[in-house]
Amino acid sequence: MPVRDYIRERFFPHIWCPGCGHGTVMGSMIRAIENLGIKKSDIVVVSGIGCSSRICGYLDFHTLHTIHGRALAFATGVKLSRPELTLIAPMGDGDAFAIGGNHLIHAARRNIDITAIIMNNSIYGMTGGQYSPLTGYGDFATTAPYGNIDRSFDVVKLAMGAGASFVARTTTYHVRSMIKILEKAITHKGFSVVDILSQCPTYFGRKNKLESAVDMLKYYKTHTIPIGSKEKEKNPDLIERGIFVQEKYPEYCAEYDKIIEKASKER
């Protein structure tokens, strides 16, 4: 099907700023789903609040636009009640790692079959460019005019530490690999976390001497490397991308069904 068959054109033009990477993420999601041949009626997209969360309004699937930080809580409820559906939760810095941080780590340890897509632009874009849990040390924001003194979360390490059974990282520059990674994440039976570096030229770029979306995409090209590259030894600051974890663990909904079966037999 054409891409337009997956979007709600009545809600366009979108609210994303010119050069924002989130549209690239949405386009990659659509292409991954099309390649997998999943019916639109079998997909639920759940989001919270923020620039990233507008994505659910633009996609022609079952969608829930919920409250800040609670995308995974709502997605968990949907998945437990309708485990046959494919659940995707696109989130930003706050939804995933600030107010929503506990939901993410517990969804990861439970290994519930949800795909968490982190649209990581290192800033709070919708509410004015405040620094976030993913803003790097020394980076500038409207609430960090002299530089951020907090250390940022490493999405991959945090997800791995919490027990996610699929963990990957990509960027909006590497679109082809993003599509392939999303295909694997969506079909993985367990909790999947995909960290996608997505440019925000309006706030992060202007504050951090990356003047345009093109400059930010060039940064992703030159400052990221595939997992295992020898360049990492020469320059430890380079960011690795690819699939870090892809393991089979018991899936939460399946385990829950076993408990229901046991309880039913004891009545």
The pair of three-digit structure tokens given for residue 258, joined into one six-digit string: 């076993």
Give 104-146 pLDDT, tens digit per residue: 999 999 999 999 999 999 999 888 899 999 999 999 999 999 9
- Contact between residue 51 and residue 20 where contact means Cβ atoms under 8 Å apart: yes
The distance from CA 228 to its chain's CA centroid, rounded to whole angstroms, is: 23
Q: How many CB atoms lie within 10 A of CB 218?
A: 13
Q: In CATH, which of 3.40.605.10, 3.40.50.300, 3.30.565.10, 3.40.50.970 is domain 18-265?
A: 3.40.50.970
- Contact between residue 213 and residue 20 where contact means Cβ atoms under 8 Å apart: yes
Output b/e per residue, 33-72; b: 16+ Cβ within 10 A. bbeeebeeeebbbbbbbbbbbbbbebbbbbbbbbebbbbb
Give 7-62 pLDDT, tens digit per residue: 998 888 898 999 999 999 999 999 999 999 999 999 999 999 999 999 999 999 99
- Concatenated DSSP letters of 177-190: HHHHHHHHHHHSSS
Burial class (CB in 10 A: 0-12, 13-18, 19+), 204: buried
pTM of the full predicted structure? 0.95
